[in-house]
């Protein structure tokens, strides 16, 4: 596809807007861009390379002539329209969870398994944002010294729940500071100045929620490591668009912080921010709007006397590397 026709499905949403920006900033070699959204948003225009592009209503007959379709409109839309787009000849890069665990659909992080994209059958899945941000920095270590166990605690931004959640965080924060009441509709618990367990369904047997199990199952699939031991606790924090994740990993062989720092410094898509003397480590404010994942707080896990375990903290922009940027990088593998 030297000059593909590209479509964005869900163009007016938070991730859709970032997809548009990524395509422009990365000079993606498309010949034409088409934008689709719900009937409610159809008729609007969005700016791309100094041109106003009309947003069209998404229907079943719009995919003729489209080479790559970037989907970010939710799982139900992807399940319905993704196969339709693929049958029409488009390669679908889907940002929802609809196809991630389908054995016939590759789940791709370009810094980790770009070769998997070549095995697509019309649909390629973009992993969960927390999965991407957690395992991209861990991949160089896993290649050198295979990781046997991952313990993760996430600090997830409002953007993961969409533009409405970001707006609710802003509005509820203003109301809180004014001493006013606020009626939450997106995230029912009070969100401003609060921590909230991730708003996905909790399994009554395991007591893990869906977001936590996404990190477990997706990591195993991407790394081709079905026996990898993973446990996650996922929490929403009052941050707009950058996820932080505290990680402790156990390796096959002994590992030192110096070894991990050296691997991070040489790895693509990540940047070392690890200054104990100044107490300066990865923060959401430093990564919001940036492509790379920041990595720091690298230290020996003192609860493991064998020296096989390392603790670290990573932060990444949920809308970029956690969603839109990774999808565009997948599309770049196709051209």
User: What CA–CA distance (Å, rounded) separates 241 from 256?
Assistant: 32
Backbone angles phi, psi at 296, to 5 degrees: -165, -165
Q: Is 27 a catalytic residue?
A: no
User: What CA–CA distance (Å, rounded) separates 335 from 328?
Assistant: 11
CA separation, residue 179 to residues 14, 175, 176, 333 (Å)? 29, 6, 5, 51
Q: Is 129 a catalytic residue?
A: yes
* Options 120, 142, 198, 243, the catalytic residue: 243
3-class secondary structure per residue, 25-82 = HCCCCCCEEEEEECCCCCCCEEEECCEEEEEEECCCCCCCCCCEEEECCCHHHHHHHH
User: What CA–CA distance (Å, rounded) separates 186 from 199?
Assistant: 9
Tell which residue, 270, 15, 230, 21, has the closest CA to residue 131. 230
Q: Within 13 Å of residue 135, how many CA atoms lie on the same side as its CB?
A: 33
CA separation, residue 170 to residues 53, 162, 164, 194, 238 (Å)? 29, 13, 10, 13, 9
CA separation, residue 110 to residues 126, 210, 260 (Å)? 10, 24, 21
- The residues, ordered by sequence, that sit 6+ positions from 270 with a Cβ below 8 Å of its Cβ are 136, 137, 264, 292, 293, 294, 295, 314
- The residues, ordered by sequence, that sit 6+ positions from 250 with a Cβ below 8 Å of its Cβ are 147, 148, 149, 150, 301, 304, 308, 309
Q: Which of the residues are catalytic? A: 129, 243
């Amino acid at each position: 596809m030297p000059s593909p026709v590209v479509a964005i499905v869900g163009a007016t949403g938070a991730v859709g807007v970032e997809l548009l920006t990524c395509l422009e900033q990365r000079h993606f070699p498309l010949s034409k861009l088409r934008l689709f959204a719900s009937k409610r948003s159809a008729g609007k225009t969005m700016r791309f390379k100094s041109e106003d592009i009309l947003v069209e209503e998404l229907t079943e007959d719009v995919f003729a002539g489209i080479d790559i379709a970037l989907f970010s409109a939710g799982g139900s839309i992807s399940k319905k329209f993704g196969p339709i787009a693929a049958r029409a000849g488009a390669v679908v890069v889907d940002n929802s969870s609809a196809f991630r665990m389908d054995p016939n659909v590759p789940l791709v992080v370009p810094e980790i398994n770009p070769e998997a994209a070549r095995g697509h059958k019309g649909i390629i899945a973009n992993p969960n944002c927390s999965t991407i941000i957690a395992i991209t920095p861990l991949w160089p270590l896993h290649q050198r010294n295979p990781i046997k166990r991952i313990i993760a605690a996430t600090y997830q931004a409002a953007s993961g729940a969409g533009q409405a959640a970001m707006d609710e965080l802003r509005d509820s924060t203003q109301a809180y500071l004014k001493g006013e009441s606020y009626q939450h509709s997106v995230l029912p618990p009070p969100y401003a100045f609060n921590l909230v367990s991730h708003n996905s369904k909790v399994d009554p047997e395991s007591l893990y929620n869906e977001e936590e199990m996404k990190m477990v199952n997706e990591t195993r699939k991407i790394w081709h490591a079905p026996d990898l031991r993973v446990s996650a606790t996922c929490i929403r924090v009052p941050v707009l668009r950058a996820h932080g994740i505290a990680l402790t990993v156990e390796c096959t062989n002994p590992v030192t912080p110096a070894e991990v720092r050296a691997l991070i410094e040489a790895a693509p898509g990540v940047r070392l921010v690890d200054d104990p003397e100044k107490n300066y480590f990865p923060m959401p404010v430093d990564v919001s709007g940036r492509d790379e994942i920041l990595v720091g707080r690298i230290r020996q896990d003192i609860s493991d006397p064998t020296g096989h375990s390392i603790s670290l903290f990573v932060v990444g922009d949920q809308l970029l590397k956690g969603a839109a940027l990774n999808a565009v990088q997948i599309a770049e593998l196709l051209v």
